[in-house]
């Protein structure tokens, strides 16, 4: 008969593997606490309230809008190109927007690309502008006392001796003189405008094949042109000077004909046969013309 008052049997001893796991956990907790003391976590940032987030987003949008408006108003140039020709040289330049500029002899142009405009400056000489249409960015040409504005057209601009000439071959062109009222001249195809000083004259017709456009084909066209003016045009294609010794009558004699810009010496040699003129060549390459 079993003794009901006997003590219960003692539990079996813990397995060695379980004891080892318990010791590892205790050590890991101690190491973790030590790491927290050495490397404390940064304090948690409180999340802004919805109203504060809306104010922050609104302020950011306002700053961006103001920055964009300022940038468009300022209209800075992000690219500038410079092109030039030597005496007797012709050159065509293709621009990135599809436009093309043809430079005459001894000419120079600067083209600046802006965010909302395309701006060229004719520094000297003559150039033909074949402008690609761009509804958002107008093309302007600054030629000293004259400013030309177009959207898409073909026109010539020339600067010489305080005078600017603008001739339109295709499209419409607005020309503003620096001394002119706010209303600019509107030029149509076949019209030319002269600006002397700062005041434009009345537009005048330009016949097809006129001297205004012949230079692109390398031709000089004179139609009852005073010799003084004709020699000034010939001089643009020569490095050696042409000196006119005029008694008041020779320079007023008129010259007509079509000549090659690459053969200006032949043109000068023909003067004694065309006019009552004497042509003398000097050792330095210069030419003296007299009666």
| pLDDT, tens digit, 9 for 90 and up, residues 99-158 | 999 999 999 999 999 988 899 999 999 999 999 998 888 899 999 888 899 978 999 999
Q: Spell out the domain ranges in the chain.
A: 77-205, 218-290
pLDDT at 81: 94
Do 286 and 241 contact (CB within 8 A), yes or no? Answer: yes
pTM: 0.70
pLDDT at 139: 94
Which runs of consecutive H residues, i.e. helices, occur in the chain? 16-38, 50-74, 211-214, 227-235, 264-274
Do 229 and 273 contact (CB within 8 A), yes or no? Answer: no
Residues 6+ apart with CB under 8 A from 65: none
Residue, of 161 and 157, whose pLDDT is higher:
157
CATH 3.40.50.970 is held by the domain 77-205: no
pLDDT at 283 over 80: yes
pLDDT at 65: 56
Do 129 and 118 contact (CB within 8 A), yes or no? Answer: no
Q: Are both 77-205 and 218-290 of the same fold? A: no
Fold category of 218-290 in CATH = Phage tail protein beta-alpha-beta fold (3.55.50)
The Cα 140–Cα 120 span in angstroms is 6
């Amino acid at each position: 008969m079993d003794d009901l008052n006997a003590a219960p049997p003692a539990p079996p001893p813990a397995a060695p593997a379980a004891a080892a796991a318990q010791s590892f956990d205790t050590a890991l907790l101690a190491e973790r606490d030590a790491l927290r003391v050495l490397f404390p976590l940064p304090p948690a940032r409180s999340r802004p309230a919805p109203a504060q987030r809306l104010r922050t987003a609104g302020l950011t949008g306002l700053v961006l809008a103001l920055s964009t408006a300022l940038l468009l108003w300022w209209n800075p140039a992000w690219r500038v190109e410079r092109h030039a020709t030597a005496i007797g040289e012709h050159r065509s330049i293709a621009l990135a927007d599809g436009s093309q500029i043809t430079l005459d002899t001894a000419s120079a142009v600067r083209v600046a690309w802006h965010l909302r405009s395309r701006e060229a400056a004719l520094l000297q000489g003559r150039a033909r502008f074949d402008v690609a249409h761009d509804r958002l960015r107008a093309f302007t040409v600054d030629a000293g006392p004259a400013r030309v504005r177009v959207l898409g057209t073909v026109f010539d601009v020339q600067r010489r001796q305080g005078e600017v000439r603008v001739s339109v071959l295709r499209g419409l062109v607005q020309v503003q003189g620096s001394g002119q009222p706010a209303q600019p001249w509107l030029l149509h195809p076949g019209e030319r405008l002269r600006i002397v000083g700062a005041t434009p004259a009345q537009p005048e017709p330009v016949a097809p094949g006129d001297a205004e456009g012949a230079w692109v084909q390398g031709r000089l066209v004179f139609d009852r042109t005073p010799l003084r003016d004709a020699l000034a045009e010939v001089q643009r294609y020569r490095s050696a000077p042409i000196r006119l010794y005029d008694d008041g009558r020779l320079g007023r004699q008129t010259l007509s004909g079509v000549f090659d810009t690459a053969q200006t010496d032949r043109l000068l040699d023909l003067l004694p046969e065309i006019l009552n003129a004497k042509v003398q060549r000097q050792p330095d390459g210069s030419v003296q013309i007299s009666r």
